[in-house]
C-alpha cells in the first residue's frame, strides 16, 4: 500500500478518464494507489479502468451524484491505512511530482486542504490556482484567506480530517448533491485550524470546458499539448 489514495470520480466521459490514466502511466514515480468511484456510467468506463489495472473500484448501480461518490471514496480511505486522500475529477492530467509535493505539504501541515496550480481555463473562478500567477521565485505554498477554498477538481486531505466527519463515513454534506462540497468542507474546518493551501510547484492540467470531441485529435495529441504546456511553464 502506498501512502496516498487518489479517488477518481466518473460518470461516463470515458475519453477523459483514458487520458487521465495515460498521464498517470507516464509519471516516473507513482507513490499512490488509485480508486475509481463510478456513478453508474452507461459507457465502458468501469470495464476499461479495470482492464487498465486499477484494483480499487466502486461501481455504483444507481447514480447518486458527486457528493455521494466523494463520501464513498472517503469511507474507503478511512477503512484503509492510507495517510492522504486526493479527490480528483477525471478530466485532469497529472505532471511529475505533483502528488509528491502535495503529500509532502500535507505531512508538514496535516490540518490543511491542499490543491495544485493549473492552467487558467481549468480554474476560471479561482485565480489563486492559476499557474500563470507564479514564477519559480514565488513561494512554494500559498495560504488562502478565510472564505476562499481550493477548487474541487483535485484536492487532498490527510487522516486528521476523520475527526470532523458529519456522521460515520460521511465527510461531505449530502445536501450538496453535486456542487459546493469543497466550499462547505473548507468553511466547516476553518474554525478547527484547517487552512486551504496551494502547492505552487504541484502542476496539473484541467480540461474543464475544453472539448475532446474533435475527430482528428488523438489521446497522444492532447498529451503532447500537455507536455508542451509543462515545458513552456518550466515544470
d(CA 129, CA 120): 8
Domain coordinates in residue numbering, the chain: 4-233
Determine the pLDDT at residue 202.
Answer: 93
d(CA 216, CA 213): 9
Residue 207's pLDDT band, with cuts at 50, 70 and 90, is: confident
Asked if the model's pLDDT at residue 210 lies above 90, the reply is no
d(CA 186, CA 144): 10
Burial label for 20, CB within 10 Å (0-12, 13-18, 19+), is buried
Architecture of domain 4-233: Alpha-Beta Complex (3.90)
Residue 74 Cα to chain centre, angstroms:
13
Q: Please tell me the pTM assigned to this model.
A: 0.90
- Joined together, the cell numbers standing for residue 169 give 463515513
Determine the pLDDT at residue 193.
Answer: 98
Determine the pLDDT at residue 168.
Answer: 96
Q: Which neighbouring-strand residues pair with 117?
A: 203
Instruction: Collapse the DSSP code of 231 into the 3-class scheme (helix H, G, I; strand E, B; otherwise coil) and give the result.
Output: helix
d(CA 176, CA 170): 12
d(CA 173, CA 156): 17
Residue 223's pLDDT band, with cuts at 50, 70 and 90, is: low
Determine the pLDDT at residue 215.
Answer: 36
d(CA 99, CA 78): 19
Amino acid at each position: 500500500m502506498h501512502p496516498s489514495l487518489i479517488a477518481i470520480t466518473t460518470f461516463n466521459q470515458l475519453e477523459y478518464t483514458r487520458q487521465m490514466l495515460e498521464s498517470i502511466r507516464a509519471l516516473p514515480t507513482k507513490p499512490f494507489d488509485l480508486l475509481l468511484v463510478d456513478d453508474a456510467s452507461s459507457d465502458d468506463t468501469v470495464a476499461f479502468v479495470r482492464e487498465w489495472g486499477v484494483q480499487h473500484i466502486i461501481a455504483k448501480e444507481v447514480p447518486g451524484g458527486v457528493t455521494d461518490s466523494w463520501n464513498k471514496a472517503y469511507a474507503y480511505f478511512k477503512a484503509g491505512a492510507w495517510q492522504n486522500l486526493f479527490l480528483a475529477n477525471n478530466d485532469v492530467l497529472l505532471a511529475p511530482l505533483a502528488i509528491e509535493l502535495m503529500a509532502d505539504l500535507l505531512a508538514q501541515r496535516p490540518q490543511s486542504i491542499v490543491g495544485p496550480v493549473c492552467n487558467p481555463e481549468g480554474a476560471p473562478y479561482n485565480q489563486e490556482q492559476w499557474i500563470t500567477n507564479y514564477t519559480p521565485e514565488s513561494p512554494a505554498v500559498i495560504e488562502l484567506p478565510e472564505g476562499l477554498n481550493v477548487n474541487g477538481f483535485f484536492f487532498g486531505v490527510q487522516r486528521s480530517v476523520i475527526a470532523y466527519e458529519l456522521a460515520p463515513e460521511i465527510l461531505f454534506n449530502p445536501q450538496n448533491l453535486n456542487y459546493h462540497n469543497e466550499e462547505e468542507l473548507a468553511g466547516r474546518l476553518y474554525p478547527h485550524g484547517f487552512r486551504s493551501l496551494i502547492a505552487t510547484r504541484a502542476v496539473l492540467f484541467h480540461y474543464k470546458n475544453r472539448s475532446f470531441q474533435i475527430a482528428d485529435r488523438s489521446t497522444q495529441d492532447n498529451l503532447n499539448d500537455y507536455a508542451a504546456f509543462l515545458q513552456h511553464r518550466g515544470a
